[in-house]
Structure 1
Amino acid sequence: MSNAGHQDTVPEIGVDLVRGLLAAQFPRWGGLTVTRLADGGSDHVIFLLGDDMSVRLPRGDWAAGQAEKEHAWLPWFAPQLPLAIPVPLGLGVPGLGYPYHWSVTRWLDGSVATADGFADPEGAARQLGGFLKALQQVPTVGDGHGLSRWSLIARDDATRTAIKARTGAAAADAMTRVWDAALAAPGWDAAPVWYHGDFHTGNLLTADGHVSAVIDFGGLGVGDPACDLMVAWTTLSAATRPVFRAALGVDDATWARGRGWALATGLNAYTHYAATDPRVAAQTRRQIDEAISDEWAEAEAETGAWR
């Protein structure tokens, strides 16, 4: 989606705006220090409020609605999940020229996870599989805020275009085999379950090398949970993916669709952000390489040709 509809009216999302919104809507917090975090992600600008709270403001239309969703659902999910998740403290409304709902949440300590930063990689794989299993076991209620949002086939044209634009012949062939297998896999035919919707390294926090929290539930929904399996290729390795898969209990078709999600989202992020963000470039290169690793083995001598 695009934020073009508001790009001329959204004020700068800075400390002054946050202080003004807090003073007008949550005066009890208006006197606390506000510090912008350098790396807030592509969807939100994030600020530390005082010592133990955060303020998240959507950057544009594509992230609008996430604050309301998290405020409605996360308090209900929190006691049913084995890892910490954000605790909503306040739901802000549009004001001072800023057109979106925004949120105040309890601060979660930890560092953003990295693929090579786990003290116990197999333990992390089990934690992640256990978290998703618990999430899928939470009873579904209402419409799930996104029952039909995630569709692999809807990404077919964009994914194939990215494959052709960014790859050499050998890598393009490997990616196409992964993508074709994902689309050919049988669809989810069990009862719809909850999914996180954006379950990857950037939305995981660690403490002392162990997974401590899961953040950013803006993609939360009900349906096919294969999209959450992207974490197996964004965060895990060939050695730990089987541990994760066993902990969650994933059938072959869902695994194939999950790998398709990892490839599609990796190519999308690489296409849109890698040229301007070296961190995203490194993460998405790894994600794509891991997603096609089995098919790529035969052409290992040509590694790097797709970039």
Structure 2
Amino acid sequence: MHRDELDVGEGTVRRLVKEQFPRWSGLEVHEVPAAGTVNAIFRVGDGLAARFPRRAHDVGQARAGLRAEAAAAHELAGASTVPTPQPVAIGEPGVGYPMPWSVQTWLPGRVATEEDPAGSIEFALDLARLIAGLRAADTRGRRFAGGGRGGHLPDHDAWMETCFEHSEGLLDVPPLRAMWAQLRTLPQVDVEVMCHGDLTPPNVLVRAGRLVGVLDGGGFAAADPALDLVGAWHLLDDLQREAFREALGCTEIQWRRGMAWALHESMGLVWYYAQTNPTMSRWGRRTVRRLSAAWVCHAFGSELGPNLA
């Protein structure tokens, strides 16, 4: 999926587990087919999952990042209304793989790319309860400090321009440019709260139309409360999205900022993964379609600016 992607297979994982964690050496190791783009996932026995970063970078920074992710995951577990994976261990580079890696608990359930919860009101309300619970967690004075989604919308103009240029022939770009041009001007009026930061289909576990778990909690941090609203656009159909919005009590500006973050994320998915990860690209397209339909249906564009200045 990436030009600089690392190659890691089951044989390498078995060897690293055996060498670094002998107590698990008798457990079976199987790669987990997944649409995720950051880590390759391997089951270790019935209760563990080993996560191997797909791209190489500075080893020291990577190790520090894994420790920070583990701390964030512990904090997320205390705020989440559904189970989340718990960090278990951090592995070191070894023969066949040059980076630190991590082990966490395995959660049952199917990711939303495999079991689509879009038509479930119950799931929509589960998702609203999750986000409300995360927002209630103590920020301990922390503010948004990242370079990704969750802060100042105009900071992402260059990335969006890259997306628009690469999406010619894949999407109807002019109206999407117009949408971003207005969404980017929305004021940042809400106090920052704790957010999961990536409520996307590969990170949500579903069973029988209910939310039963949330993955990838290493980004749990203070950010724009609208950031986690991307889940409504990635995961829900129209009626379910309205039930979610009502349950969470979003203001108009917050809701539209959520649209902005969802557009930012989905635009990148469509073109970047068009050939290398069709699943990611398809649900990116679906999110873009949902945003576009809502924009036209509710005439958001004609109301933005003067009424919200």
Tell me which interval the TM-score lies in, with the shorter structure as reference length.
0.7 to 0.9
Give 1:82-93 correspondences, 5 Å limit. 82-93=81-92
SS in 1 for 2:194: strand
Amino acid at match of 1:126: L
Could you report, residue by residue, the CA deviation over 1:129-183 in whole angstroms, capped at 9, with x for unpaired residues? 1101111111123757845543432321231343354357x94343133212321
Contact 2:123 2:211 in 1 (8 A): yes
How many pairs align? Answer: 290
TM-aligned CA distance change 1:147 to 1:141, over 3 Å: farther
User: Structure 1 stretch 126-135 or stretch 181-190: which is displaced more?
Assistant: 181-190
The answer on 1:35 being equivalent to 2:30 is yes
Distance 2:155 2:181 in 1: 14
Amino acid at match of 2:260: G
Q: Structure 1 vs Structure 2: percent identity of aligned residues?
A: 31
Amino acid at match of 1:81: S
> Which residue pairs with 2:307 in the alignment?
none
- Structure 1 portions without partners, runs of 5+: 299-307
Question: How many angstroms does 1:17 deviate by?
Answer: 2.0
Contact 1:145 1:220 in 2 (8 A): no
Could you report, residue by residue, the CA deviation over 1:201-259 in whole angstroms, capped at 9, with x for unpaired residues? 12101112211001012333212132221111111112111211122222222211111
User: Structure 1 stretch 70-79 or stretch 237-246: which is displaced more?
Assistant: 70-79
- Structure 2 portions without partners, runs of 5+: 299-309
Distance 1:171 1:290 in 2: 14
> Which residue pairs with 1:135 in the alignment?
134
SS in 2 for 1:218: helix
Calculate the TM-score normalised by the size of structure 1.
0.84
> Which residue pairs with 2:160 in the alignment?
159
> Which residue pairs with 1:55 in the alignment?
50
Amino acid at match of 2:34: D
User: Structure 1 stretch 60-69 or stretch 72-81: which is displaced more?
Assistant: 60-69
Question: How many angstroms does 1:128 deviate by?
Answer: 0.7
Question: How many angstroms does 1:107 deviate by?
Answer: 0.9
> Which residue pairs with 2:261 in the alignment?
261
RMSD between aligned residues: 2.8
Could you report, residue by residue, the CA deviation over 1:24-83 in whole angstroms, capped at 9, with x for unpaired residues? 321111221101112251111101111121111111147946532332132233133211
Could you report, residue by residue, the CA deviation over 1:66-123 in whole angstroms, capped at 9, with x for unpaired residues? 5323321322331332111111121223333633332111111111114973396111
Distance 2:154 2:56 in 1: 23
SS in 2 for 1:35: strand
Distance 1:133 1:279 in 2: 29
Contact 1:114 1:235 in 2 (8 A): no
Contact 1:147 1:222 in 2 (8 A): no
